[in-house]
Structure 1
C-alpha cells in the first residue's frame, strides 16, 4: 500500500505507538525470508480506522496493519478478514497489494496484525494537495474497478463460504444500530428515527457480490495514467448487496463528510471531478444494475458513516487516537444522520 507517512521511527528501541519494534523485528526474522535485519517504521495514518505503518529494512518495503487502540466494536477492524480477501483477489483483475503474512497472535504486538507489499503511488487523501492526475479518467477507473469487483463470483475465488449474502441488508441495519449503542457518547433521537425509516424502506436485495464495505477515493492507490494501482482497506468486506458499496461511495462524494475525514474534501477541491450522479449513471451502465432504490442505499451509507464517526469521536475523547484532525468529528455526527433522514422523507 502507499501514502505519505506521518512520522518517522527513531533510533533502535524508541517506542512507536501501537508497535513494539523489537518484537516486530524478531517476528520478521522468523516469518519473512527476505527480511535483512533492521527495521524503520513510519506511521502512515491512524486513529480513524486500523493503524497503518510503512515498514522497511532498507531494501524491501511493506505495509503493516493492526486494529486501533482502545475498545473495539465487534466485527470491525478485522485485519485478518481483509488479509483473506486480498489473498483471494490476488490472482484476479481487481488490483490489491500482495499479501505477505498474517499474525493472529496478540502476544507479538498486543493485537493481530497483517503485512502486505508496499504499492507505489499517491493516495488522494487531502484535497488541498492533489497530484497531477486526469481526474475524470481516475473517476472512471474508480467506478469501473467497483463494477469489476461486483462481477466476480465469490465461489470461484475461494470466498464462497465468506458469509451469507441472504438477508444482508437486515443484518447491516441491526449491526450498525447495535454498534451505535456500544460507541455512543450522547443521546441522539434522530439515530432511532433514521434506523426506523431504513427498516421500513428496506428494498429487496439487488443481488449478491463481494463488497468492499468502505469504497472511496482514499482507499485506492493511484498508478500511472490515472489508473488504480491497488484497492486497500478491506476490513469491512463481505458477501452482500453490491449497491451498498455504491451508496457509500456517493455519500463520500458529499462535502458534508469532510469533518470525518479530517482533511479538505477531495471531489469539491478540484473542478474536474464529475458529480455524484455521473458516478451512479456510469455504474448503472457498466453493471446493468437497477438503481431505482438508490436513495435507500445512500441513506444506509449515511447511517453507517455516522456510527463510524461516533466511534472515532469516542476513541478521541478517551485519548486513544493516533494522529491529528479529530476535533470536529463528533460535531459532524448529527449532520450525517440528518443527511440520511433527508433521503427518506
Structure 2
C-alpha cells in the first residue's frame, strides 16, 4: 500500500507492466511482480518492483494535473540511454512506454546497488574528513564529466536549445511560479524581476553541455565500499542541453555548510563537521572542468529561485493529493526564505 492507503499495485499498473517487462527481458518470472513505493520521492513516483528474478525500478509521474514540461519520462529514458557508454554512470533502461500501455508514461530500469545518502551517513562510512572530501570530489568530478560529454556524439545534439538558455530558464521558472503559487510572495517576485534584468548579459557567452538540472548527493548512488565512487546518477527528468553553470550552482545550494539554515526538503548532512566547504566544491569543479566560474553569484541566485519554485510546485501537488500520500506541508515557510537567499547572492537585502 502507498502511504495514503492506496493500492500500490494499481499505482504501478502491475497487471500490465509485469507481462510487458517479462517480454522485454525474456524472463517470465517478471509476469507477476510486487511493488513498493520508495518513500521520499518528491517529484516522479519511484517504485521497487520485486520478483523471483530480482529487483528493478519503475518511474512514473505523479497522479493528477501536471505542469507543462514536467515529469517527462521520455526525456529521462533518452538521456540515460545516451549516456550508457560514457564516463557518467547511469542505470540500464529495461522497458519504456509513452502511456499507451497503462495510460501513464513510465519506464523500468535496472536497480543499481548503492547508497542513497540523505540525512546521515551509514555507520563507519566516510567517517573521516579525508573520506568526506573524497565523497564530495567524486560528486563534483561526476558532474564535470557529464558536462564534458559531447552531446552530438552520443545522439543528444538536438536535446535542447542552448542559445539563450539562462534567460529562457528564468522565464520558464517564472511561468511555473505563476501556475503553482497559492499566494503572493514578494521575495520571489522581486528575485524573478532582478534575474530577468541580469541574466541576458551573464548567459551571452556561456558554455553548452548536457545539463542534469537537479544534480545533488541524494540523486546519486554512492558505492557502499568506496566513498570516492559514484555508482549511478539518477533523476534525469530536467535534463537538457544548456549552461553547465546552472548545475554547479544548484549543487552548491544543496551543499549546506555549518551555520546555514536548513532548506525545505534538502538534507542538512553536509553541515556536519568534516565535510568540505562550498568553496572547495567550486574550486574542484573549476579544476576538473578546466574553466573559470564567472558570474557564479548570479547562477547561485537563479538556483535559489528555481528551487523555491520547485518547492512551491511540490506543495501544490501535495495539496491536490497527487504525491501518493507523502506530506511536505512543512516546507511552505521555506519558499520566501529561499528567495531571500537568492537576493542575498545578488547583494540585495529585503
TM-score, scaled to structure 2: 0.89
CA contact (8 A) 1:97 1:230 kept: yes
Q: Does 1:67 align with 2:68?
A: no
Q: 2:75 aligns with which of 77, 81, 103?
A: 81
- Residue 20 of structure 2 corresponds to residue 34 of structure 1: no
| 2:150 alignment partner in structure 1 | 153
* Contact 2:9 2:34 (8 Å CA) reproduced: no
| Alpha-carbon shift at residue 17 of structure 1 (Å) | 6.2
Hey, what does 1:208 align to over in structure 2? 208
- State the SS of the aligned residue for 2:248: helix
Partner in structure 1 of residue 289 of structure 2: 287
Are residues 201 and 126 of structure 1, via their aligned partners in 2, closer, same or farther at CA, if it must alter by over 3 Å?
Answer: same
| In structure 1, C-alpha distance between the alignment counterparts of 2:46 and 2:117, rounded to whole Å | 16
Show structure 2 runs of 5+ residues with no match.
none
Give the equivalent residue in structure 1 for 2:270: 267
Residue from 232, 240, 252 that aligns with 2:242: 240
What is the CA–CA distance in structure 2 between the aligned matches of 1:112 and 1:210, rounded to whole Å? Answer: 23
Is 1:183–1:311's contact at 8 Å kept on the other side of the alignment? yes
Residues 47 and 323, structure 1, Cα contact 8 Å, conserved in 2: no
Match of 2:168 in 1: 171
Where does structure 1 lack aligned partners over 5 or more consecutive residues?
1-5
Structure 1 residues 216-249: Cα deviation after superposition (integer angstroms, max 9, x where no partner): 0001001131110000101100101000000000
Write the distance in 1 (CA, Å) between the matches of 2:253 and 2:192.
Answer: 17
CA spacing shift, 1:246–1:14, aligned 2, 3 Å: closer
Q: Is the partner of 1:61 in helix, strand or coil?
A: strand
Deviation at 1:327, TM superposition (A): 2.5
Distance change (3 Å), C-alpha of 1:149 and 1:332: same
Question: Relative to structure 1, is the Cα distance of residues 259 and 104 closer, same or farther in structure 2, using a 3 angstrom cutoff?
Answer: same
Tell me the secondary structure at the aligned position of residue 46 of structure 2.
strand
- CA RMSD, 1 decimal: 2.2
Question: Alignment length, in residue pairs?
Answer: 333
CA contact (8 A) 2:2 2:325 kept: no
Distance 2:119 2:2 in 1: 17
- Partners of 2:326 and 2:179 lie apart in 1 by 24
Shift of 1:272: 1.9
Q: Deviation per CA, 1:87-129: give whole Å up to 9, x if none.
A: 0000111101011121102551x31001110000111122375
Q: Which moved more, 1:31-40 or 1:206-215?
A: 31-40
Give the secondary-structure state (helix, strand or coil) at the position aligned to 1:62: strand
**Aligned match of 2:111:** 118
